[in-house]
Chain A
Amino acid sequence: MQQTQKGQIQKGKRNIRLALEVIDATVRFNMASERIDNLKEYFVKLVKRQLMFQEFLALQHINFSVKKGESWGIIGTNGSGKSTLLKLICGIMKPYEGSVITNGSIAPLIELGAGFDGDLTARENIFLNGAVLGYSRHYMQENFNRIVDFAELHDFLDMPIKNYSSGMAARLGFSIATVVQPDILIVDEVLSVGDFAFQQKCERRMREMLDGGVTLLFVSHSIDTVKSLCKYALWLERGQVKGCGRAQEICDAYMQSLMENHS
């Protein structure tokens, strides 16, 4: 809790050494008992006065800040708001209250190959996915070989992606997203697909990027990976910060609480 307050103090200074800053962010979902997504039902409910809106706060007053070059693991049980926090930082979601400030380019690895079109070949998808990440065709052309080399998919370049296995698609997605050195790398439990050798390779690539000064946000249920890869950790529970600080301590505290809940 102490650390959280520290985050608030830094807000006033607007530190340029910060890679990102989340200030008092709250995310609200509308959890209607049943979702109304068509006009007919909307009017029926409106006339019957049954339009109910039930609030659900996925994140509540989150404060935390990350300095450039730091590596943070985000841990917590399912539904604790980890992915929502990452989406907030990527700009996929906007906070209902509070604000999120980021400095520098972001490479989100939230779902590998989210932008792939099954009917296009791998070659065409590389350009499409690069464009989704904001890179030009020219730039992708220059880095094309590096991407294919890393993914080890030379023989399947002209095959439609729909015929790829999920592991192969994930490999391609990872190598496209990490072909540049972004300022902030956001990884959400994506390496669970793919075989062991490739997982190792991805971890190596992430370490290289860390050495190169990238800021890493890493969501994983594998506490050991978090401990080995990250210096700091943020522990979320039911949308609130339960702990924030050195990875070692936070992870231990998290494991402790899991044990207690089980017994």
Chain B
Amino acid sequence: MMQLLKARAETFLQYRHLIRELVIKDIKLKYRRSFLGYFWSILNPLMIMAIMVIVFSNMFRFDIENFPVYLIIGQTLFNFLTESTTQSIFSITGNAALLKKTYVPKYAFTLSKVTSSLINLLFSLGAMVIVFLFCRVRFTFLFLWIPFILLQVYLFCLGLGLFLAQAAVFFRDVQYIYNAVTTAWMYLTPLFYPIETLPEYLRQMIMVYNPLYNYIFQFRMVVMYGSFPDAATILSGVMFAVFSVLIGSWCFLNTQDQFILYI
């Protein structure tokens, strides 16, 4: 067991360059030949947020103070979740040509997709800062907790991504099913409405079982309400992340030898 772990760690070290190169490739190609380049990462969330703010402050009214801030936090984390996991679904099947022709650790592709999504998320934090400044959010030392929130989300998405990537090798319709799942997930996460509008039982369910809401909640606590999230919330957030990675990589490592027969 220890030997296996050691061998795995050595392969990882040997191929860390590959993961780096793949991340660089993704980021370079995303905005290649677009005039504004990386600015889109900042501009895009700002534009979407502006539209949502207009829609929700005129058509449906929710009593949320600092609505743009409330919205952009939820929106950014949700976008990261969908982007990283949807990209993961195609990470193995999309690199079939390469996997058939040379040996590379297969998780490198999934890991690099989630990581390049994380870097896009870091770019879009720029948009967040602009909104914070515009809405006069007070920057405090509590903001130092944000990297830990992002780490939790990253690990959670990595685990989910690994699970989906291996499932998609055997069953191609996972992508369509997951599409429906993310739509449901979007409405079951208070991104643009306050959680208080939900009936009591649903509220409980979401607070306990929706990891995404947990991370958004931690983020909003720190930024909007100027207080540190309570221990129970953090504990369950960390648990979601750890279990997601464990289950995801367990499924992936157990099925990866059969990928070659299905891609």
Which residues on A are within 8 Å of B, measured CB to CB?
Answer: 29-30, 37-40, 42, 87, 90-94, 106, 108, 110-111, 114-115, 117, 119-120, 124, 127-128, 130-137
Given A92-B102, A120-B28, A114-B18 contact (CB < 8 Å): no
CA distance A131 to B108 in the complex (A): 11
Residues of A within 8 A of B174 (CB): 39
A92 B20 Cβ-Cβ under 8 A: no
Indicate the member of B28, B98, B100, B102 with the most A CB atoms within 10 Å. Answer: B102
Asked if B261 and A30 sit within 8 Å, CB to CB, the answer is yes
Q: Measured between alpha carbons, how far is A120 from B30 in the docked complex, in Å?
A: 11
Q: Which residues of A contact B101 (CB under 8 A)?
A: 92, 108, 110-111, 114-115
Is there an interface contact between A135 and B17, defined as CB atoms closer than 8 Å?
Answer: yes
CB distance from B16 to the nearest CB of A (A): 9
CA distance A108 to B100 in the complex (A): 11
Partner of B32, one of A42, A119, A132, A136: A119
Contacting residues of chain B (164-215) with chain A, CB-CB under 8 angstroms: 170-174, 177
Contact of A92 with B17 in the complex, beta carbons under 8 Å: no
* CB neighbors of A among B63-114 (8 A): 97-104
Residues of A within 8 A of B104 (CB): 132
Give me 27 A-to-B residue pairs in the complex whose CB atoms sit less than 8 angstroms apart, sorted by A's number. Answer: A37-B172, A39-B171, A39-B174, A39-B177, A87-B100, A90-B103, A91-B103, A92-B101, A92-B102, A108-B102, A110-B101, A111-B101, A114-B100, A115-B98, A115-B102, A117-B25, A119-B29, A127-B21, A128-B21, A131-B20, A131-B22, A132-B98, A133-B102, A134-B14, A134-B18, A136-B17, A137-B20
Interface mask (B22-56 → A, CB under 8 Å = 1, otherwise 0): 10010011001000000000000000000000000
- What is the number of contacts between chain A and chain B, taking CB atoms within 8 Å? 78
Instruction: Say which size band chain B's interface belongs to.
Output: 20 to 34
Asked if B257 is at the interface (CB within 8 A of a chain A CB), the reply is yes
For the complex, give the distance between the alpha carbons of A108 and B103 in Å.
8
Q: Does B260 contact A (CB under 8 A)?
A: yes
Is there contact, CB below 8 Å, between A37 and B171? yes
CB-based contact A38/B102 at 8 Å: no
B262 lies within 8 A of chain A by Cβ: yes
Judging by beta carbons under 8 Å apart, are B262 and A132 in contact? no
Residue of B nearest to A94 (CB): B257
- Chain B residues with CB below 8 A from A115, complex form: 98, 101-102
Which of B15, B99, B172 has a CB less than 8 Å from the CB of A92?
B99
Q: Which residues of B contact A30 (CB under 8 A)?
A: 261
Q: In the complex, which residues of chain B have a beta carbon less than 8 angstroms from the beta carbon of A40?
A: 173
A108 and B98 alpha carbons, distance in the complex (Å): 12
Q: Report the separation of the CA atoms of residues A63 and B133 in the bound assembly, to the nearest whole angstrom.
A: 70
Name which of B25, B32, B103, B262 has the most chain A CB atoms within 10 A of its CB. Answer: B103
A93 close to B98 (CB less than 8 A) = no
Which residue of chain B has its CB nearest to the CB of A30? B261
User: Do the beta carbons of A128 and B25 come within 8 Å of each other?
Assistant: yes
Q: Provide the bound-state CA to CA distance between A59 and B28, in Å.
A: 42
- Separation in Å of the A164 CB from the closest CB of chain B? 16
CB contacts (< 8 Å) of B14 on chain A: these are 134
In the complex, given contacts A92-B260, A110-B101, A120-B25, what are 11 additional A-B residue pairs having Cβ atoms less than 8 angstroms apart?
A: A37-B172, A38-B173, A39-B177, A87-B100, A111-B97, A111-B101, A114-B101, A115-B98, A117-B25, A131-B15, A134-B15
Nearest opposing residue in chain B for A108, CB measure: B102
Shortest Cβ distance from A115 into B: residue: B98
